[in-house]
Structure 1
Amino acid sequence: MPKEFTVVTHEASKAGAKKRILIPNVCDAHRIPVINTFDMMRKLKVRLG
């Protein structure tokens, strides 16, 4: 049974990046959902403090 998942990272996608392999670019190439840390916290309604 396939599992659904999303990769969480601080990195941002950058078209044409060649010096470093960026996590969002790899996820895009493999059609894996990716979200940044702050968007994940908003989606999960995390409250700090």
Structure 2
Amino acid sequence: NFQDEMGRKTAEMLLRRIADPAAPPQRAVLTPELVVRGTTAPPKTAR
């Protein structure tokens, strides 16, 4: 899922940066996945 992929990519980039602090910063673009569900709950009332 998206969260797992984001965590893995972040860990890989962090480990690379630790191994080579002089390396240029990296940017990653991940494609999220839309999950369409049948229903949603109404909003909770303010307290």
Interval of TM-score (by shorter of Structure 1 and Structure 2)? under 0.3
Q: Normalising by structure 1, what TM-score?
A: 0.20
Larger helix percent: 2
Larger strand percent: 1
Q: Normalising by structure 2, what TM-score?
A: 0.20
